[in-house]
Structure formats: structure tokens, C-alpha cells
Amino acid sequence: MNTRDRLIGAMIDLVRQKGYDAVRVDDVCAMAGVSKGAFFHYFKSKQEIAEIAADAWRDNSCGLFASQGFVASDDRDASAREKLLRYVDFRIALIEGSSEIYEFCCYAGTLVQEVHETHPELSDRAAQGIVAHVAQLEPICAEALRDAGRDAAEAAALAQYFQTVLQGALLMAKAYRSPSAAVTSLEQFKVQLALLLDGRQAQTEGNPE
């Protein structure tokens, strides 16, 4: 990993650990193992590296989920419903595979919560990652809804709900200082999602006796 990427990685980890305001350029340099001069060779300020890190987080996160096949509507090895349920399982596995809470926390979500009023440009840049993942989930949500006999027009709302639950689950882990709080939330969400996308249930709702 080159110096620039090490600095970006350090910024992401430190913000997830401490929050944006608490991070100093010296902290980023120390974690990355580089000099302050090296930092300013690549970045003009803490805000600039935070914004560039938000872009990297967006690209890496969307790339990770795409590589797992959860958002591929042309993959016929599994139904859209199965892919979405597996996606929730994958998010649970990421949480359970982390040794520290910050390791599974969302850089974009952390920034948006903290700086949406104090640094609106940075918040908007971070929000792009959340919005991009919502858009990434929307087509497979539409397919799953159609398969279940539901209105595919609800796909945007369902994709957004995924992010609402995920961000809330991460907040619960911080509040309870325990990954299990996030896991419990996502497990409950999976149950609700399975019921929502059960075509037999949708048929019953549409044809009440």
C-alpha cells in the first residue's frame, strides 16, 4: 500500500474510532507511519483527506458488495429474495468477524451524523456513499418485490430502509458497547424481510377470505 492510501486508511479508521473533530493530522500521520510533510504532500487539510476518504469508502464498499453477487440481478443461481437475505447474513458476518466495534462501523454514517451541520460539504460528500449503496440495492429490491407479487415501485423505499436499519444497528452497537446489539437488530430485520418478500403472504394479503 502506498503512502497516500495508508493515510486515507488511517483517516477512515480514526474517524470511526474517535469521530472527525477529535482526529488531528498528527494522529493520521502516526497511524499511517509517515511524516507530516508526507501528509501535506498529498492533502491540503484534514477536511480534504476526509472528503477523499469518503470517495474511497464509497467505491470500496460498493465494490465489495458487488463482488459478493448480492446486487447482481442477472445472476440466476439464487432468487432476488435469497440474495437480499444473504446480504443481511453477510453484514452480520462482518460484524461478528470484527474484534473492535469501530472496525465494522460506517465511515460515511459516522461523518454524516457528526458534521451534517458543522461541515455540510464534508457531510454531503460522505452521504454520497450511503446514497450510492441505496441505488445499488434498488434493482435487486425491485426484482424481489416483483417475485413476491408486490409493487416494484416500492423498491426505492425498501433499499433506503436497508440503510436505515444498518445505520441504526451500528448505532445500537455503540450505545450498548456490544456488537451483539447490532447483530440482534439485523437478525430481526432479516425475519421481517423474509416475511415481506414471501410471495405466498403477498397473495394472501391481496385475496383476503
What pLDDT, on the 0 to 100 scale, is given for residue 209? 46
Within-domain flag for 30: no
CA angle in degrees (0–180, nearest 5) for 18-185-144:
115
Mean pLDDT score across all residues of the chain: 93
Q: Which residue has the cell 465494490?
A: 63
**pLDDT above 70: residue 66:** yes
SS3 category, 56 = helix
| pLDDT band at residue 68 using 50, 70 and 90 as cut-offs | confident
Report, as an integer, the average pLDDT of 98-114. 97
Whether 48 contacts 119, CB under 8 Å: no
Please indicate whether residue 73 or residue 79 has the higher confidence score (pLDDT). Answer: 79
Within-domain flag for 138: yes
Hey, CA dihedral for 132, 138, 81, 69, is it positive or negative?
Answer: negative
For 82-95, how does the pLDDT look when each residue is reduced to its tens digit (9 = 90+)?
999 999 999 999 99
**pLDDT above 90: residue 56:** yes
What pLDDT, on the 0 to 100 scale, is given for residue 77? 74
Count up the domains in the chain and report the number.
1
**pLDDT above 90: residue 100:** yes
- CB neighbour class for 206 (10 Å; exposed up to 12, middle 13-18, buried from 19): exposed
| pLDDT band at residue 6 using 50, 70 and 90 as cut-offs | very high
Q: Which domain holds residue 142?
A: 45-206
Q: DSSP assignment, residue 118?
A: T
Q: 207: how many CB neighbours lie within 10 A of its CB?
A: 7
As a 3-state breakdown, the chain gives helix, strand, coil percent values, each rounded to 5, of 80, 0, 20
Within-domain flag for 175: yes
Within-domain flag for 40: no
Within-domain flag for 197: yes
Within-domain flag for 66: yes
Within-domain flag for 22: no
154-179 residues labelled b (16+ CB within 10 A) or e (exposed): ebeebbbbbbebbbebbbbbeeeeeb
| Separation between Cα atoms, residue 125 and residue 112, nearest integer Å | 9
The CATH code of the domain that includes 198 is: 1.10.357.10
What residues have CB less than 8 Å from 66, skipping those under 6 apart? Answer: 72, 136
pTM: 0.89
| Separation between Cα atoms, residue 25 and residue 7, nearest integer Å | 10
| Separation between Cα atoms, residue 20 and residue 83, nearest integer Å | 34
| pLDDT band at residue 74 using 50, 70 and 90 as cut-offs | low
